[in-house]
Amino acid sequence: MLKDYGGVLAREFRGDIYVPVSVQDCTNLLLEAHTKDRLTYRGAGHSMHGRSIPVAQNQLLVTSSLNQVSFCKDGFISVQAGVQIGVLQAFLNRLGWFLPIFPDAIHAGPTVAGYFLAGGFGSQSPQYGGFWDNVESITCILPGQSAAMEIHRSNDFFWNLSGSGGLINCFIFELKLFIKPYETSSIYPIGFTASLPTLQSDSSNPIIWFTLFTPLVNQNLLLRKYRGALSALSSVLQLVSPRRVIIKYLCRYPSLLAEFSDDLLAFSIGGRLSRNTLDSAISACQIIHALASSMASCVQYYSSELVLETLAKQRSH
Ligand X SMILES: Cc1cc2nc3c(=O)[nH]c(=O)nc-3n(C[C@H](O)[C@H](O)[C@H](O)COP(=O)(O)OP(=O)(O)OC[C@H]3O[C@@H](n4cnc5c(N)ncnc54)[C@H](O)[C@@H]3O)c2cc1C
Write out the residues near ligand X by the rule CB under 6 A. Answer: 5, 41-47, 51-52, 63, 81, 103-106, 110-111, 113-115, 117-122, 165-166, 171-172, 207, 209, 304
State how beta strands 149-152 and 135-141 pair: antiparallel
Which is nearer to ligand X, 79 or 106 (by Cβ)?
Answer: 106
On whether the CB atoms of residues 263 and 247 are closer than 8 A, the answer is yes
Nearer to ligand X, 46 or 252 (CB): 46
| Residue 5: CB minimum distance to ligand X, A | 4
Alpha-carbon distance of 167 to 304, in angstroms, equals 10
To ligand X, the closest distance from the beta carbon of 180 in angstroms equals 18
Instruction: Name the 3-class secondary structure at 88.
Output: helix
Nearer to ligand X, 122 or 188 (CB): 122
Q: Are 173 and 141 in contact (CB under 8 A)?
A: yes
* CB nearer to ligand X: pick between 51 and 225: 51
Residue 123 · residue 245 · CB < 8 Å: yes
129 vs 165 by CB, closer to ligand X: 165
| 100 versus 114: smaller Cβ distance to ligand X | 114
d(CA 84, CA 43): 9
**Nearest approach, Cβ of 184 to ligand X (angstroms)?**
29
Least distance between ligand X and beta carbon 74 (Å): 26
8/287 with CB nearer ligand X: 8
Residue 194, exposed/middle/buried by CB under 10 A (0-12, 13-18, 19+)? Answer: middle
Strand extents, DSSP E, 75-192: 76-80, 97-98, 135-141, 149-152, 171-178, 180-181
> From the CB of 166, what's the least distance to ligand X, in Å?
2
CB of 110 to ligand X, least distance (A): 3
Residues 117/305, Cβ–Cβ less than 8 Å:
no
DSSP string, 246-300: EE---S---GGGTT--S-EEEEEEEEEESS-SHHHHHHHHHHHHHHHHTSTT-EE
Q: How far is the CB of 200 from ligand X (least distance, A)?
A: 13
Task: Give the end-to-end CA distance of the chain in Å, rounded to a whole number.
Answer: 16
- Would you say 188 or 222 has its CB closer to ligand X? 222
Q: Least distance in Å: CB of 109 to ligand X?
A: 6
Cα gap 250→228, rounded to integer Å: 32
